[in-house]
Amino acid sequence: MANSGTSTPPFQPRRVFFEQRAMAYPLAQELYDRFTADKVPIRMIESHNRVTGIPGGTPQIAYREAKRTLVVGVKVGLEFDTCRPSADYEFAMGTSCPGGCQYCYLATTLGRKPYVRVYVNIDEILASIKRHIEARLPETTSFEASSTSDPLAVEHLTGNLGRAITFFGQQEHGLLRLTTKFHLVDSLLNLPHNERTRFRFSVNSEKIITTYEQQTAALSERLAAAVKIAQAGYPLGFVIAPLFLYPGW
């Protein structure tokens, strides 16, 4: 649960499923070695879209355990949907997130796949982004990275967000945007972002975060992370949503 008294620990899965073809990518092997060393239960699967074996005697327990499950796979479809007015396109480095926000639209959008999923073919994803940018020259093309996940929540595991930030820092006609409720940004502070990535921190009152946004960073942690991001020169914004009315607020 988000709290203001202690540091929110990074996400660590209780179990990990690896899509077999993902093992051809270095990131998958790194994750496999890491979780093997940590003695996290591992299973191999044929497709990251068909995951069985997540425990749960009731829908509530199954959902909670899915949020504690990491699935490592390969992103196949590399054409991107439009994402206006937020950005020209959206792309995914994964789906879902370990947060338990009670109002999150992903609870229904992801249906039977609420598990935390990361894609290991980040170079292929970025190559597709490059093609989309070049197709719209001389216009600048913007990309939203947090429509189906919170990439910062798993950055300590994948490093994919850092790779994307570095990539966009080299794109004169490309912009990256993302929104987060997490706070572990230290690995991103010295990257050559060249102001091509905009961070937006989703914030609310501490009462709302504690009550409705379980397993996310506390308000104080998000604000401290935002200060670090601003000091590192990233463009910065904030999102306050949803709006709650209650006595004293």
Picking from 84, 109, 85, the residue whose alpha carbon sits closest to that of residue 95 is: 109
The verdict on pTM exceeding 0.85 is yes
Q: What angle do CA 163, 168, 171 make, to 5 degrees?
A: 140
Neighbours of 1 (CB within 10 A): 12
Q: Residue type at 59? A: P
Q: Residue type at 119? A: Y
Per-residue pLDDT of 66-98, as tens digits, reads 999 999 999 998 999 998 888 999 999 999 999
Looking at every residue in the chain, the average pLDDT score rounds to 93
List the domain boundaries for the chain: 15-240
Q: What is the pLDDT of residue 6?
A: 57
Per-residue pLDDT of 185-215, as tens digits, reads 999 999 999 999 999 999 999 999 999 999 9
Instruction: Show the tokens assigned to 107.
Output: 């609870």
pLDDT exceeding 70 applies to what percent of the chain? Answer: 96
The answer on pLDDT for 1 being more than 50 is no
User: If you ran DSSP here, which 8-state letter would residue 71 be given?
Assistant: E
Q: In whole angstroms, what is the distance from residue 21 CA to residue 72 CA? A: 10
Judged by average pLDDT, the poorest of 5-14, 65-74, 169-178, 217-226 is 5-14
- Quickly name the fold that domain 15-240 has: Rossmann fold (3.40.50)
Strand partners of residue 90: 81, 144
Q: What is the pLDDT of residue 62?
A: 85
Segment holding 16, helix H or strand E: strand 15-19
Q: Euclidean distance between the first and final Cα of the chain, in Å? A: 21
The answer on pLDDT for 4 being more than 70 is no
Per-residue pLDDT of 90-130, as tens digits, reads 999 999 999 989 888 777 677 778 899 999 999 999 999 99
